[in-house]
């Protein structure tokens, strides 16, 4: 790929709201992991360089290394993470640093106490802070500037749980055919004792995605077509009058204290609605 072709790609990505950057600056990577736990020896064995965009690399010397252990887990550093380390001369309280203590290396939080005594602090209660004694040969190698997390692996049991929930949801949203809807209307019709109770049937059909909300005309037409001889046929006006308070919600959320009908009448409406849902699901 030529420089001009690469430039065209960057321009295209920028127009799409992205921020492309060229990885043109190498950072050395050291094979031996740095302990996030008790200090340990680290070799100076150098592996392949990692390439980063120049904009993300400090003017100070930098290198990459891999974290090992769990003493910094509460700071977001897990075993296997890649650490981008800046070799700086200034380290402030609260900086996460790579420190060498008598030749052993560890990752900790650098901090002074009220008396000016320097400490290295873990971010895991299992481990104890390290007091830096005057006689110790202590050297701060660098400050952690960036943490590149290792992609986690999801357990098989968790995968199967997600799949079972997805399958269940798909099963709940199965397509209800017009023929089945017609049968349900005929089955529920004997339960309807007054015209306004058809509202519970309408709401059940909305809850199961058979009808759209407030599509009363379609609903009334369906009932009249299936049950033209029924003694109590629904009207659009009566349906609209009941679409208030908790009756605007799914049937399972109907509240007797916040409904347009009370007492035994409320129980009758809800009973019809729940039975219609059961018929539609059957």
The DSSP code for 258 is G
Place of tokens 């407030």: 214
User: 71, 123, 143, 208: which one is catalytic?
Assistant: 71
CA atoms within 13 A on the CB side of 242: 26
- Return d(Cα 70, Cα 64) in angstroms, integer: 19
Q: Judging by DSSP bridges, how do beta strands 130-131 and 118-121 pair with one another? A: antiparallel
Question: Does 168 qualify as catalytic in the annotation?
Answer: no
- Return d(Cα 160, Cα 213) in angstroms, integer: 35
Give me the DSSP letters along 144-208: EEEEEPPPP---HHHHHHHHHHHHHHHHHTPPPPHHHHHHHHHHHGGG--SGGGHHHHHHHHHHT
Q: Which residue, among 135, 133, 138, 110, has the nearest Cα to 123 in the 3D structure?
A: 110
Question: Does 32 qualify as catalytic in the annotation?
Answer: no
User: 68, 108, 123, 208: which one is catalytic?
Assistant: 108
Residue 117 neighbours by CB under 8 Å, 6+ apart:
131, 132
Catalytic residues: 71, 108
């Amino acid at each position: 790929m030529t420089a001009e072709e690469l430039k065209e790609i960057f321009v295209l990505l920028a127009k799409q709201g992205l921020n492309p950057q060229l990885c043109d600056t190498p950072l050395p990577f050291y094979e031996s992991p740095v302990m996030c736990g008790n200090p340990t020896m680290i070799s100076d064995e150098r592996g392949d360089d990692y390439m980063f965009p120049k904009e993300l690399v400090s003017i100070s010397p930098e290198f990459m290394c891999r974290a090992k252990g769990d003493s910094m887990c509460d700071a977001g550093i897990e075993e296997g993470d890649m650490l981008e380390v800046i070799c700086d001369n200034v380290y402030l309280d609260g900086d996460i640093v790579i420190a060498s203590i008598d030749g052993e290396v560890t990752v900790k939080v650098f901090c002074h106490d009220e008396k000016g005594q320097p400490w290295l602090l873990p971010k895991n209660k299992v481990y104890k802070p390290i007091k830096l004694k005057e006689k110790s040969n202590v050297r701060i190698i660098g400050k952690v500037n960036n943490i590149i997390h290792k992609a986690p692996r999801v357990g098989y049991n968790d995968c199967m749980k997600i799949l079972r929930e997805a399958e269940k949801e798909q099963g709940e949203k199965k397509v209800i055919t017009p023929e089945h809807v017609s049968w349900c209307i005929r089955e529920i019709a004997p339960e309807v004792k007054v015209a306004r109770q058809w509202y519970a049937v309408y709401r059940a059909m909305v809850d199961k995605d058979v009808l759209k909300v407030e599509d009363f005309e379609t609903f009334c037409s369906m009932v009249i077509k299936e049950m033209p001889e029924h003694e109590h046929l629904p009207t659009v006006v009566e349906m609209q009058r009941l679409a208030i308070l908790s009756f605007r919600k799914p049937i399972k959320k109907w509240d007797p204290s916040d409904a347009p009908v009370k007492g035994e009448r409320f129980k009758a409406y809800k009973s019809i609605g729940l039975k219609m849902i059961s018929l539609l699901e059957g």
